[in-house]
Structure 1
Amino acid sequence: MKSFKKSLKAAVRTPLTIRAKMRERAVSRAPRFNLTACAIFREEAPFLAEWIRFHQSVGFEHFYLYNNFSTDNFKAVLQPFIREGLVTLVDWPRPVGQLSAYADCIRRCWHEALWIGLFDIDEFLFAPDGRDVRSVLEAYRDLPGVCVWQAFYGSSGHIERPRSPVVEAYTMRAGPDITTVKTIVNPRLVYKPGVHLSKFLLGEGMDTHRRIIAPGMLPELDILRINHYWSRSLSDLDQKVRRGDASTSESRDKNRHLDFESRLNVERDETILEAMRRLR
């Protein structure tokens, strides 16, 4: 029965697979962008500029940003980037809107970019050796998606938000037992985008060591990695709890979040600062 269902699904997807291959050939010849990012955000105005400029410095060429009920001054922050042609801003007033935003971005922009990274404003993606991320991805063009492991960072003892940049202020992180992945996808091959893992018409997403992601797998942070500044300061964590989550309708539990944050300050890791020095 399982083999029959699998064959049936393959038959149903055959026209989509043929179309995806045709699109891939067409876009690969002359893409507008090699590497872009898609993110949904809410009340992130203080962090948007740093996040955009950092990712521009490591090779991202365009950003599709989906506003999800923000009431802060995000428009003023993003306007210079929009005028620069670096940001496409989409208003997305949908509860639990993360997956639908990803699907909309892929539907609209599959023809523009070789790769679209699906990750968040508190996540910074880079190559630890200082290479341009686009050059790293050249070795994975045969894959439909590249899964990038995360290191989770805590408050580093900051109760209130410090004046320094995020990547300089928060240097304490969890051990390798607390991790997950986010995926850089080939948008022509995705049929079901996910928060962490997506489903593809051809093949499966793999990490940079070409492993299929499985529960309990230890992260590999040497080729590409994401620093996930999960809490930032404790005051930022409180705001995070109150604003809710774009991927679920469940309310956030403050005590559970504080307990989790207490596990994110185990070891000092300034790899991102060294990578930035190498980039410069």
Structure 2
Amino acid sequence: MSRLKSVLRSPWVLRARARDRRLATVPHVPLAICAIFKDEAPYLGDWVAFHHAAGVGRFYLYDNGSTDKPDAVLRPHVDSGLVRLIDWSHPPPPQLPAYRHCIRTFADEARWIAFIDIDEFLFSPQGTDLPQALRPYEDLPGVIVASPFFGSSGHAERPAAAVPEAYTRRAPLTRISAKTIANPRHVRAIRNVHTFKYWQGDALGTDRRPLAGPDRVPPLDVLRLNHYWSRSLAELHAKVARGDASTRSPRNLDWHLSFEAGLNAEEDLSGRDAWRRLLGAVPEVGSGRAASR
């Protein structure tokens, strides 16, 4: 950062630090999740239960015009205060405006906010709860979490098993994405759905290095975000028809099928193992398949 930019941004840096200090003196959520969704009701119960068991204390969920009655699944969580459900009938593309609204509205409620999707499952392979896993990174404005792509694992139709149980094959780790867990008070701007800009410093991976790099396999030992990109082939067709919340461009079915074909090369049981570990101890949270296990 140039010296001039540093000087101009210094009041905002001081303000963000002051907000951090205030937050530490009042009850707050150590970790929240912000996500936007449309017609994901069949998955919401399991997804909320998994992340709640992993240590997520609040969910800011933006409903972008669902027609499959997600309120029926989420109502117990809304009533308990675990979920804040926001009606987000925003002109396309709605995702980045939802993220900005979340930061403006809820930044002083949570120490960290993870910005992920309903087809992504965040956990620590070490078995540590997520707020504890994030504790060593509190000096950073954000943590970038590597996100392997999982394919259909041979399922043509939606299986009966939960998503992390059903889909256990992924792309090679040379093909990987990432998402951000941000200190929302330090966010200056949102580059895209993956990375943000901050008043000072940059988000880093859990090894305290930038995630991108030639021929580099990113760290997956402290935190990982399994991205169940396609689910079954039938669900992939539905995903294409539903459209993309981050762009106005329509999805191309041929491209999606071609991309999915490369997402089943290697077996990876990390999500299945995390599901079994977390949901074996989770209290009933009021909805979804996980509540009955």
CA contact (8 A) 2:165 2:275 kept: no
Answer whether contact 1:31 1:113 (CA < 8 A) is retained. Answer: no
TM-score (norm. length: structure 2): 0.91
Query: Quick check: 1:157 aligned with 2:145?
Result: no
For the 8 Å contact 1:31–1:111, the answer to whether it is kept is: no
Equivalent residue for 1:47, pick from 43, 47, 62: 43
For residues 80-229 of structure 1, what are the structure 2 equivalents within 5 Å? Answer: 80-94=76-90, 95-193=92-190, 194-216=192-214, 217-229=216-228
TM-score (normalised: structure 1) = 0.95
> Unpaired runs of 5+ in structure 1?
none
Aligned to 1:57: 53
Number of matched pairs? 276
Check the 8 A contact 1:43/1:70 in 2, yes or no: yes
- Structure 2 counterpart of 1:30: 26
SS of the equivalent of 2:174 reads coil
Q: Tell me, in whole angstroms, the C-alpha distance in 2 between the residues paired with 1:180 and 1:114.
A: 24
Q: Does 1:14 align with 2:10?
A: yes
Deviation for aligned residue 1:157: 0.6
Maintained 8 Å contact 1:129/1:275 = no
Deviation per residue, 1:67-111 (Å, 9 max, x gap) = 112111111111111112110011111111111111110111111
Distance, in Å, in 2 between the alignment partners of 1:64 and 1:42 is 14
Contact 1:55 1:124 in 2 (8 A): yes
When the two chains are superposed, the root-mean-square deviation of aligned CA atoms in Å is 1.4
Which one-letter code corresponds to 1:135 in the other structure?
Q
Question: How big is the shift at 1:263?
Answer: 0.3
Aligned to 2:263: 264
Partner SS, residue 188 of structure 1:
helix
* Conservation of the 8 A alpha-carbon contact between 2:63 and 2:85: yes
**Deviation of residue 275 (structure 1)?**
3.0
The AA in structure 2 aligned to 1:163 is A
Work out the percentage of aligned pairs sharing the same amino acid: 49
Aligned to 1:70: 66
Q: Counterpart amino acid of 1:70?
A: S
- Alignment-mate amino acid for residue 211 of structure 1: R
Q: Distance in 2 between matches of 1:16 and 1:86?
A: 30
CA distance in 1 between partners of 2:66 and 2:252 (Å): 21
Structure-2 separation of matches of 1:89 and 1:192: 23
User: 216-225 or 89-98, which moves further after superposition?
Assistant: 216-225
- Where does residue 233 of structure 2 map in the other structure? 234
Report the CA distance between 1:143 and its aligned residue. Answer: 0.6
The alignment partner of 1:64 has SS state of: strand
- Measure, in 1, the Cα distance between the counterparts of 2:251 and 2:275: 34
For residues 45-87 of structure 1, the C-alpha deviation after alignment (integer angstroms, 9 at most, x for no partner) is 1111111000001000000000112111111111111112110
Partner letter of residue 64 of structure 2?
A: N
> Do the aligned partners of 1:148 and 1:207 also contact (CA within 8 Å) in 2?
yes
Counterpart CA distance in 1 for 2:261 and 2:80 is 40
Distance 2:12 2:268 in 1: 44
Counterpart amino acid of 1:252?
Answer: R
How far apart in 2 are the matches of 1:154 and 1:70? 24
SS at match of 2:30: strand
Secondary structure in structure 2 of the residue aligned to 1:88: strand
CA contact (8 A) 2:148 2:227 kept: yes
